[in-house]
Amino acid sequence: MNTIRALQLAAYGGPETIRTSSVDAPVPEAGQVLVRVHAAGINGLDWKVREGYVRDVFPLQLPTTLGIELAGVVEAVGPGVTRLRQGDRVMGSLGRLGAYADLVAVDEANLSLVPQSLGFVEAAALPVASVAAWQSLHFAGPLRAGQRVLIQGAAGGLGGFAVQFAHQAGAEVFATALEDHRNYVRGLGADHVIAYDQEQFEDRASDIDLVLDYVGGEVLSRSWSVLADDGVIVSTASPAIASNTPTGRRGLWFVNTPDATRLHAIAEDVAAGRLQSKVAAVVRFDDLPAAIERNRTQPQLGKVVVDFSI
């Protein structure tokens, strides 16, 4: 059987637990296509899985291949595939781990065609951040014009899309980011940008209807104080939010699910310039362990993408 390159987690821990391995090439099962990966997005979930923070939510059998989103070309199709064909340029979220490999078997339902004007690097930055931003924004209920929304971690890939979607919906958008990222976040449509390295968001935000917590930790703990009486916090960063929600408050744990239809619509908006998608850096496959660690230790401006061709 042919073998391929894959970035695998051997044990829970630091960067040293990730290694490049040679593994058997996958074979697409019914309803799946085999994708030759050209680029993949780097996400906070990579290091959270690595360190074991979400092992209770996402139990794994190690070693396992990391990565959750990709863009590439369909190399083969499995039984029952009707929408995609060999040679199609596709992008998508796997709904599981395994994207950091040269070949990946992906459910056809999770993939969208890449707009002609987008390259693979641009496409790989979209599946998780854009769809998760949309879904988390509407997870607690319909978003109405005039609602006050606080986005914690607004300069990252996820936060950047959330700012834009909330602005488009007519919400009053409060956003936290580094002072150096203030102009970028304001340009996305934030009404109030709070530089967390210079000021406390509690001094600027109050009566918030919805907090999107993309940071976790003490940021989540402090966010309860700015909620309106009937407000809600939706967190992608704190799996234990439900058990730690103060009495009388509402806190929800959100997990992204693939949505190829939504992804296609968002990608068309990016291609047409109606939405901004920021690719902050492009790295080589061999640099993935270091890039994942930087995602943990350094505030992100947009997305970092690994390009398999360099």
pLDDT at 168: 97
Strand 69-77 and strand 148-152: the pairing is unpaired
Express each pLDDT in 82-137 by its tens digit.
999 999 999 999 999 999 999 999 999 999 999 999 999 999 999 999 999 999 99
Express each pLDDT in 30-82 by its tens digit.
999 999 999 999 999 999 999 988 888 778 899 999 999 999 999 999 999 99
**% of the chain at pLDDT higher than 90:** 92
pLDDT band at 1 (very low <50, low <70, confident <90, very high): low
Q: Which of 234, 227, 264, 230 is nearest to 251 (CA)?
A: 234
Q: What is the value of pTM for the model shown?
A: 0.95
Work out the mean pLDDT of the chain and round it to a whole number. 96
Q: Give me the domains of the chain, ranges plus CATH numbers.
A: 3-127+259-307 (3.90.180.10), 140-253 (3.40.50.720)
| Whole-Å CA distances, 179 to 55, 82, 158, 186, 201 | 34, 49, 18, 11, 13
Express each pLDDT in 237-261 by its tens digit.
888 898 889 999 999 999 999 999 9
Distance (Å, whole) CA 194 – CA 199: 7
Give the CA radius of gyration of the chain.
19
